[in-house]
Structure 1
C-alpha cells in the first residue's frame, strides 16, 4: 500500500481551465481499508469519505463499518449506522445482535431480535447462536421455541448454543437432553457440558465425560481440576494436575489458581512451593490474582514467612491482597500483626470490605479481644456501611462464646437480621460445652432438632455436653437419636505431607504400610512424655470407659499417629506440619507442646479453627483456642 494518507482523494495534475477530473475511491478499496484499519479514528475517516462520495448506503461497506465500530468499542456508532440503513437484511440484524451480546447487553440484543421478526426478516442459525450467547434462561426458552418454529433447532451451532445457555442457567436436565442428541460433539460442546456438571456439583458425571474425551485442551483440564478444588477434593485435584503435566499440556493462570487452592486445602506446602516455582520458570505472570492465591496457600499451609515475602513482592496491591494477608495472619494466630496490617491498609486509603472485617473479627476471636471485637463490629456498620453477613456474626458469636459471654452471644443470634445457619448454632453449642452450660446447650439443641436444623455436629456437641457432665443416659439417648435419624459423626482425620506426598490418618489407624514402625514410635513418645511428667487428660474422653481404656483411646488420636509418622520419616530438626479436620483436643495440644520441646522440632498444626505453632514447649495460641 502507498504512503498516501488513508482517506485523501487522489487527483490528477492541476486541471486546465476547461477540464476537471475527480477520482472516486472504489468500494472494493474502501472495503479493504476498513478491514485493515487499526483504530476507530481510521474508521471515522473512512466513514467520512463514504458520506462525501454518497457511498454511505452501500450494503457491504455499511455492514463492514458497523462491525468495525463494534470491534473498537463504539457500539453507539454501530447502532446509529444500523438505524440509518434502509431495509436492513438478516446480516445487519445478526451483526447488531451479536454486537450487543459481545457487550453482555442481552435486553438490547433481544430487542433487536424482536424488531427483526416484526419486520418479517427471517433469522438464520447465526442469528440464533448470537442472541443465545448472553441470554438468561427464561428468554432462552422462548428463543428455543422460535428455533423450532423456523426449523433451525437441529443446526449444530444453534444446538450447541442452547446446550450452553441451559447449562449456564442451571437446567442440567435440558442441557443433557440436547447434548445427547448431537451426534458429532465438538471440543467446545464437550467442555460446555464439563463446566455444567462441575458448576452444579455433579463431579462424577463430569469425570466420566472427561475420561471419554479423545482430545483435551488446557480449558477442559482446567474445568476438571478447578471442579475438584471447588468440591473440596484436593487430593484428586493434585492427582489430575500431575496427569495434565504428564500429558504435556501446558498449565496457565487458571490451572495455577485451582492447584494452589487445593494445596491450601491439604496443607501441602512442598507441592505449593513447587507450583510457585513453576509459575516463575514458565512465564505465568505473578499478577495480583496469582499473588493473592499464593498468599492464601502459604497462609493455609502455616508458612507465614513465605506468605509475607509474596505480599511484599506485589507492587500494585489492591484490597483483596491486603485482605488475604490480614486473614493469613489471623488464622495463624498473629493477632497484633493482623491488626497492624489493617491499620496500615486504612492509612493508605484502602476502603475495608466485608472480607477485611472477617479477618479482623476472627483475629479478635482468636486472641480474646472482646472490647476490640465489639468496636470493629460496630464500626463496620456505622463507619463503613457494611451490613454484617453470616460470617461476621459467626466471628462475634465465637468471640463472645470463647470469653464466656454466652447469654450475649445467644441474644445476638436470636436478634440477627438474617437466618442463622447450623455452623453458627454449632459455634454457640461448642461454647456451651467449653463453659459447662448444660441448660443453655439443651435449649439450643432442642430448638435445632424441633426446627429440623440439627446436623451431625449438633448431636455430637450435645452428646459431648452430656458426657462432660457425666450424664451417660443423655449420651445414650443422643446416640440413639443419631442412629434413628441416619446421622453419622464426622471422623477425626489428620494429614501430613512427606516428600510431596500427603498421608492421612484416622484414630487408631492401621492401614499405613509402616504402621508397625509408627506404633513403635508412639511407644517411644509415651516414654518421653511420662519422663517429663505428662498425665493423660482422660476427662476429655467422652465415653463411659475405665481409666486404662481412656488412656489407650487418647494415645491413638489421629494427630499423634501423623506426628509419629513424621518423626520416623523426616530428618531431625525438620518442621512437622499436621492438618486436622476437627478441633484439636486439650490432651493432644498438651502432648504436642511437650514434643516440640523434647524433640527440638517446630510442629505446626492446623485444626478446624486455626493454626498452632508449637516451638520449645510453647504454642502461638497461648493455650487459648
Structure 2
C-alpha cells in the first residue's frame, strides 16, 4: 500500500472493504431469551447477556430480542457490544453488518471494527476503514493506533507513524512499542533504536521488542546489553529471545551458558522464568550445533522431569539433536514414541540415517512413510538423495529424483579423483544456480593445489575476493564432562595446550610406525614439504582428538564435531588412530557422520 495514502486524510479514501451482502441478521427471538412480551429483559440485562455469551447461536437469540424491542436505535452500547461479540466469535461479516447499520458510530465503534479486521491480518481493509473514519471527522484515539499498528506491514506502519505524531500520541507507551516492533520487523534497526531511546518510559513489552529487533538482525552485543539492564523485570519471553538469538546466529555455547543462568534464576526466584517449549527448542538446536550429546541428554531429562510439553515440534527437535550429536539410537526411540508424526518428524529421522551413512535404514523408513500415506516434501527427497550420495549409490539416486544437491557430492568426487577440468564445470553450474558457498571455491582451489597449479589457486582466491566470499576458518569441538572445548588450527589458547601438543607428538610417532605418510598435496599454499607436514599436524580435528585422548578413559568413544568437511589427511589419521588406540572415533563434519572403528570408516572413504 502506498505510504502517501495515510499522509493526506482529506484526499478521497481508497475503496472501502468489500461490502458483504448484509449478513442475514436475526428477526425473531427465542423464548429462551425473550419470554412473553410483558417480561422482556431490560437493556442492561441484555448488555450483560451479550458480555457473557459463549456461542454465536446464543448471540443471535439476544440480537433478535434487541431488534424486536427496537433497542438498537436508543441504546448504542448494545449495538457496540453486538458488533464486538460477533467479531470475537469469528463472524466478522455479522460484525460489519451491525457496524454499517449503526448511526453516527463513535470512535469506539470505529476502533472495534478496525481492530477486528487488523486482528485477522486484513490490513488493507483496516486501513480503508481508518481512512473512512477520518472522512467522517471522527478523530482516532490511542486504541485506534495500537489496533492498526500491531502486525501492520512496514510501509503503511511508517506512514501511520506520521499520524501518530500529528494526533499527539508519540509519547503513548503502547503505540511507541508497536512502532518499535514495526520498524524491527521491517529491518530498520536505526529507527527502532531511535524510538526506543526516546521513550520516556519503557515497559517489559517494549524492552522485549527491542531485544528481539537486535537479536533478529545479529546485533547480539546490543541485545545482551539491553537484556542485562532489565535485571528483575525479565520474563520467560525475554530469556527465550536472547537464547534463540545466540542459537540462530551460530553462538551455541553462549546459548547454553545463558540457559544455565536461566535455570539458576528460576531456582532463585519463581516460575516467571521457567523454561517452556520455545526455550528447549532453541537449546536443543544449540546442542545439535555443538554435537554436545551429554548436554542434549541432560536437556531431554529436564524436559521429562519438569513438565515441558513434548509436542511433535519438541520431539522433532530432540530427534534432530540426537542425530547431529551421534545418538542415533536415542533419536529412533524418540521417533517411535511420537503419536501423529508429521512429515517434518519423518524427514528428521530419514536425514539422521542419511548423514550417518545408514542408507538402507533411510530407504526403509522412506518406504514406510510412503506406506503410511504421508506425502514427502522436497526435504524428504534431499534426505534420501543424501543417503545415496553418502553411500555412492548413484543409480539409486537417479531412481528417486535427480536434484542439484548431488552437484556438491560430484564436486567432491572431482577432488578425490583430481579431475580439475570437470571440477571447473561443476563449480560454474553451482555458482550460476546460486548454490555456491566458500567450500565450493575451496574444493576447486584444492584441486589446483594438488596439481601444483598455483596460478589456478590464485585465480580462485581472486574470484572469491571479487564475489565477497570469505573462507570459513576450520573449527573442531569435543565435549568432555558436559563442557564443550573448541579448537582452531594451531590453537594455543587451551589451558592444557602443553599436554595436547605432547600427545600430538606421541600420535605422530604411532602413525609413522604404522606407515603413515602425510597427504601434503592437499595444502593450498606453495610451501616446502616440511612446512606442509607441520601445517597438517595441527589441524583442529587432530587437536580435538589429542585432547580427547588425554581427557577421557581408555577405550571410551571420542566424538568430534568439525564445522567444515574433514580433509583427506585428517580422515586417514582418524582411521589409523581408531585402530592404534582401540577406540571408536565419531566425527561429524559439515556433510555427514564418520564412524571410525578398527581402521575403517563408515563412509567407505566416500564423502
**Is TM > 0.5 for Structure 1 vs Structure 2?**
yes
Corresponding residue number in structure 2 for 1:182: 199
How much has 1:146 moved relative to structure 2? 2.6
Residues 100-132 of structure 1 deviation map (CA, whole Å, 9 limit, x = unaligned): 122122122122212212222221111111111
Q: How many Å apart are 1:229 and its aligned residue? A: 0.9
Contact 1:302-1:604 within 8 A present in 2 as well: yes
CA apart distance, 1:40: 2.9
Paired with 2:323 and 2:447, the residues of 1 have a C-alpha distance of 33
2:287 and 2:496 mapped to 1: Cα distance? 25
Aligned to 2:594: 612
Checking the alignment, whether the CA contact within 8 Å between 2:34 and 2:40 is kept in structure 1 is: yes
| Higher relative contact order (CA closer than 8 Å, sequence separation 6+) | 2
The reply on whether 1:241 has 2:259 as its aligned counterpart is yes
**1:436 shift after superposition:** 2.0
User: Hey, what does 1:226 align to over in structure 2?
Assistant: 244
Tell which deviates more after alignment, 122-131 or 523-532. Answer: 523-532
Instruction: Look up the match of 1:512.
Output: 494
1:330–1:50 CA distance, 2 compared to 1 (3 A): same
Measured in 1, the distance between the counterparts of 2:260 and 2:162 equals: 45
Q: 1:397 aligns with which of 407, 414, 428?
A: 407
The question of whether the paired residues in 1 share the 8 Å contact of 2:407 and 2:430 is answered with no
Q: Does 2:164 match 1:147?
A: yes
Q: Is residue 108 of structure 2 the alignment partner of residue 91 of structure 1?
A: yes
Moved over 6 A (4+): 443-455, 476-487
- With 492-501 and 69-78 compared, the bigger mean Cα shift is at 69-78
**Alignment of 1:359 onto 2:359:** no
1:283 equivalent in alignment to 2:301: no
Listed one character per residue, the Cα deviations across residues 213-256 of structure 1 (whole Å, up to 9, x for unaligned) are: 24211111111111111111111111111121222221111111
Q: Is the 8 A contact 1:105 1:134 kept in 2?
A: no
Aligned-pair CA distance for 1:460? 3.8
SS of residue in 2 equivalent to 1:213: helix
Match of 1:269 in 2: 293
The separation in 1 between residues aligned to 2:330 and 2:600, in whole angstroms, is 22
| Matches for 1:55-94 after TM superposition, within 5 Å | 55-57=71-73, 58-94=75-111
Deviations 1:437-471 (A, max 9, x none): 33455677799999999975566444422321123
CA distance 1:606–1:184, change in 2 (3 Å) = same
Question: Could you tell me how far apart the structure 1 residues matched to 2:436 and 2:56 are?
Answer: 62
What corresponds to 1:102 in structure 2?
119
Matched, 1:126 2:108: no
* The one of 54, 71, 93 aligned to 1:38: 54
Q: 1:226 to 1:37 in 2, by over 3 A?
A: same
User: What runs of 5+ residues in structure 1 fail to find an aligned partner?
Assistant: 12-20, 379-391, 402-427
Query: Relative to structure 1, is the Cα distance of residues 286 and 10 closer, same or farther in structure 2, using a 3 angstrom cutoff?
Result: same
Structure 1, residues 257-286: CA drift from partner, whole Å, max 9, x if none? 111111111111111111111111111111
Whether contact under 8 Å (2:446, 2:523) holds in the other structure is no
Superposed, 1:369-388 pairs within 5 Å as: 369-377=393-401
1:294 corresponds in structure 2 to: 318
CA contact (8 A) 1:495 1:503 kept: yes
Equivalent pair of 1:498/1:569 in contact (CA under 8 Å)? yes
Higher mean alpha-carbon deviation, 310-319 vs 325-334, is at 325-334
The normalised TM-score by structure 1 is 0.84
RMSD: 2.9
Shift, 1:484, TM fit: 10
Matched residue pairs, number? Answer: 570
Unaligned runs of 5+ in 2: 1-29, 267-272
SS in 2 for 1:496: strand
Partner of 1:48: 64
